[in-house]
Each structure stands twice: as C-alpha cells, then as structure tokens.
C-alpha cells in the first residue's frame, strides 16, 4: 500500500457495511490512511435492503431493557456499547443531515424513512475525510509473507501490508447481498474459534390447511402475544403460505432454535387478545345471543378479524362454544412449528467468531493486529434497531482498539463518535430513553 508520507500509518477495512464504514470514519479522524475493501460493486447493500421498509436505526428504551435483548451476549456487548450508544447513533445521523424521530413502538428512524439519503451523506463525509474505497475486491486471506491478498474485478491479485486490519465481513444471512460467511475457513486456518452459523430473525414453517393457506397468506395478525416456554413477545405477525413471519416471531428465534435443535415438539402459544383477561373475554362471549355462528360470536363479542378466527380452527381440535373454555383458547392458541426458515431467508444469523477469541479491544487473540466487528461475532439480537446498534458499536470499539494498538493519541471527533452522549444530549422533545 502506498502511503502519503512515511510516518502515516495505514489501516485496511475489509467489508463495506455499517460496522466497517463506522470504523473507517473513526479511524480516518486519527490521521490514518484508511482503505475500505468490498467484494460487492457497491457499499452497504444489506443496509439499503434493511431500509426499504423504513430504516430502524436504534431503539429508545432504557439501557437495562435494551441490553437484555442481546441475551447471552448482554454482558459482553455492554462493555462496548458505551463506545457508541443509542444516543450517539441519533447524534451521528443528525450530523449527516438526517434528523431522527421515535416511533410509537419506541423504535428510532430517520425522518426520510430510507437508508439511501443517509448512506449518500455518509459516503460524502468519508470521501471528504480521505477514506479510499476498493470495490469488487474479494479477500482471499494472507500470503506466506503475511500480506493481505485480494482478487480485483479483473482477476488480478492485490497484496498489501497495512499496520492494522478491521474485518467487518458480516454473518451468513442474505448471502446474495454479500454476507455469505466465505471468510470462515480463512480464520479457522489461523486458529480462530468460530461457532457454526444458524438462522436468526427468521420465520417459521407451519403446516397450514390448504383452505387457510389459500385464503389468508399475506394477512397480518396484529396486537398479539406469542409465548414459547418462559419467553413471551408482544407484537405482530404475518401469515404466509409456509407459516409465520414478523417481529413477534423473530424475537423468539433463539429459544425456537434451541427447542427445535433438541428434537422437541414445539408449539407456539398465541394470545390473540393480550390486553384483555380471559375472564373479561368470557363475559363478553356469554352476552352473545344463543344461535349465533362461531364467526359472528367472535366478531361481535371481541372483534376478532377473520384470519384470527380461522387460526383457532388450525389447532386441529374442535373449538369449544362454552365461554370460559373458548376464552382460554383465544388467550393461548397452540400452533405447532415444523422448523425455522434457512439462513438464506433470515434477516440475521447467530454464531460466528467466539467472543472468547477476541480481547477487550476487539483484536483476535490468534492474529495480532487484526480486529473484528459486526455480525461476524457470535452475538444476535431481534429486529427493532438492536442489530444495527451493535454493528455500529462494535465497529467503533474496533477503531478504538486500533487507536490503542497503534499508540495514537485521543482526538476529538466532530461527528460525536464514541462521545458517550446518550439521547438526553438531544433536545427534550426528541429524547425518549
């Protein structure tokens, strides 16, 4: 790699997604020569896909509840989330001209509700900082001299020897957008412990009746609660030809995966009226005139939509007409899950580089000078802003690790990266944490 001057240190960032780009931004502020290598023809392809339905940057809930979303990785991520908090995310976005707001669910979005304006502004800032980009460069590992090797778009081998490296290559979901876990063998050959990738934030396969499938595929199930064992999640779901999708299902990915992996027969318990007690539902059902059909009874008494009413019939059992028993069924509809959707159909993945394989500065214990960030690491989170937040935070943490590794002095970054600002740094009207 050619340096602008002999004293300027260089950093190679492999992966042009959020964690890699935020690391590049932080490192470029430290007078480092920063180059981002990306095998796809454009940057942030998964980031753009995530923004199609409204880019959910982070979440405004309190820190304790927020961090609990990361389950087994909670303690580990807590150590690094302070480097880039949910408040920092909002300050950062607004510094790029993308004002944010808190939705009714507590999720935080840019007002544009899209990723493309933010990504354009971000790329402009990185260009102004002097960050270089090498697109269509496939990383192939190291040569015998310890140099990083890439194959460019023309099939030419490019070798470089930077002073430090950030690997931000993503997990194993949405492979067509670049995250195909093709890097696993390269790190395993170096002695890095990697947990097998598994689907997360994915739908489930359910054997519906033909009538139900044909009539209600694409129908939403709103304001429900789904329980699996000790886990209960409120939210929404979508009926599909193959089963169920949606946030309430995604949030149960980890316990579903564990139960199915253990060979258990898995039933989701779906509460169609989580805001009403069974006694109140039974009382309303009892007031309906005798002789009414079940459909009319459920429509009139508790305003269940047709899809929810038909879901009751998918249990395979006779639906009770006695008010108390019917109310109990409405509060706990048992739906058998056949399996989870595969990695190629998942929003994110579980598994990756073991957290024990990195030190407190995000450097691989087995490969000094090589730092990792984002979904390459063995953590998972539900949708709702938690995935992006941890990807950004670990990218910043890796950049701080390189700052320490290279012995650089701390500098103030105008963008607010790693400032420790929470959402209370914003005005009172926009704060929500």
Q: Which residue has the tokens 């989330």?
A: 81
Structure tokens that stand for 200 in this block: 């997360």
CB 392 within 8 A of CB 22: yes
Residues 415, 421 contacting (CB under 8 angstroms):
no
Q: What CA–CA distance (Å, rounded) separates 119 from 96?
A: 9
Spatial contact of 1 and 35, defined as CB atoms under 8 Å apart: yes
Domains plus CATH for the chain?
Answer: 10-199+348-425 (3.50.50.60), 204-340 (no CATH)
Q: What's the full length of the chain, in residues? A: 433
- 341, 202 in Cβ contact below 8 A? yes
What's the pLDDT at 395? 98
CA distance 345 to 184: 20
- State the pLDDT at residue 416: 45
Do the strands 204-205 and 33-38 form a parallel or antiparallel pair, or are they unpaired?
A: unpaired
Q: pLDDT tens string for the chain (433 positions)?
A: 334 455 789 999 999 999 999 999 999 999 999 999 999 999 999 899 876 778 999 999 999 999 999 999 999 999 999 999 999 999 999 999 999 999 988 999 999 998 999 999 999 999 999 999 999 999 999 999 999 999 999 999 999 999 999 999 999 987 887 788 999 999 999 999 999 999 999 999 999 999 999 999 999 999 999 999 999 999 999 999 999 999 999 999 999 999 999 999 999 999 999 999 999 999 999 998 888 899 999 998 999 999 999 999 999 888 999 999 999 999 999 999 999 999 988 999 999 999 999 999 999 999 999 999 999 999 999 999 999 999 999 999 999 999 999 998 554 344 445 443 333 333 333 333 2
pLDDT attached to residue 50: 77
Q: What is the DSSP string of 360-404?
A: TTSBBTTSTTEEE-GGGBS----TTTHHHHHHHHHHHHHHHHHHH
210/326 Cα distance (integer angstroms): 24
Give the model's pLDDT for residue 431: 32
Question: Would you state the pLDDT for residue 411?
Answer: 45
Instruction: Look at residue 417 in the predicted model and tell me its pLDDT.
Output: 53
The reported pLDDT for the residue numbered 144 is 94
Q: Which helix (H) or strand (E) holds 294?
A: helix 294-302
Q: In b/e form, how buried is each residue of 291-304, taking b as 16+ CB within 10 angstroms?
A: eeeeeebbbebbeb
Q: What is the DSSP letter of 424?
A: G
- In whole angstroms, give the CA distance from residue 213 to residue 236: 18
């Amino acid at each position: 790699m050619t340096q602008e001057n002999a004293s300027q240190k260089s950093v190679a960032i492999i992966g042009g997604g959020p964690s890699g780009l935020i690391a590049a931004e932080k490192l470029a502020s430290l007078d480092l020569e920063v180059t981002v290598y990306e095998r796809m023809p454009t940057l942030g392809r998964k980031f753009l896909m995530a923004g199609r339905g409204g880019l959910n940057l982070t979440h405004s809930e309190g820190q304790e509840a927020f961090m609990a979303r990361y389950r087994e990785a909670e303690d580990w991520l807590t150590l690094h989330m302070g480097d880039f908090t949910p408040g920092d995310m909002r300050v950062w976005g607004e510094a790029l001209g993308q004002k944010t707001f808190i939705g009714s669910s507590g999720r935080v979005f840019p007002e544009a509700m899209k990723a493309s304006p933010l990504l354009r502004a971000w790329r402009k800032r990185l260009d102004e900082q002097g960050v270089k980009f090498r697109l269509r460069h496939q990383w192939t590992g190291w040569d015998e001299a310890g140099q990083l090797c890439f194959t460019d778009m023309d099939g030419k081998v490019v070798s470089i020897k930077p002073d430090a490296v950030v690997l931000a290559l993503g997990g194993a979901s949405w492979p067509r957008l670049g995250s195909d876990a093709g890097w696993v063998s390269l790190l395993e050959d170096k002695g890095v412990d990697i947990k097998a990738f598994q689907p997360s934030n994915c739908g489930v396969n359910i054997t519906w009746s033909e009538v139900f499938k044909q009539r209600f595929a694409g129908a939403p199930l709103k304001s429900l609660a789904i329980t699996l064992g000790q886990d209960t999640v409120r939210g929404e779901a979508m009926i599909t030809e193959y089963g169920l999708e949606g946030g309430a299902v995604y949030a149960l990915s980890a316990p579903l995966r564990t139960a199915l992996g253990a060979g258990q027969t898995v039933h989701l318990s779906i509460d169609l009226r989580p805001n009403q007690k069974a006694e109140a539902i039974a009382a309303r059902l009892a007031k309906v005139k005798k002789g009414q059909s079940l459909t009319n009874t459920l429509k009139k008494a508790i305003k269940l939509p047709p899809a929810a009413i038909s879901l009751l019939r998918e249990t395979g059992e006779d639906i009770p007409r006695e008010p108390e028993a019917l109310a109990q069924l409405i509060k706990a509809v048992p739906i058998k899950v056949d399996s989870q959707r595969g990695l190629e159909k998942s929003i994110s993945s579980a598994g990756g580089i073991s957290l024990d394989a990195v030190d407190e500065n995000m450097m691989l214990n087995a490969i000094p000078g090589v730092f990792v960030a984002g979904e390459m690491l063995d953590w998972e989170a539900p949708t709702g802003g938690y995935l992006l937040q941890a990807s950004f935070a670990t990218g910043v943490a890796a950049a701080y690790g390189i700052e320490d590794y290279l012995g650089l002095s701390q500098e103030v970054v105008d963008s607010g990266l790693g400032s420790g600002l929470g959402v209370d740094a914003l005005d009172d009207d926009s704060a929500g944490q």
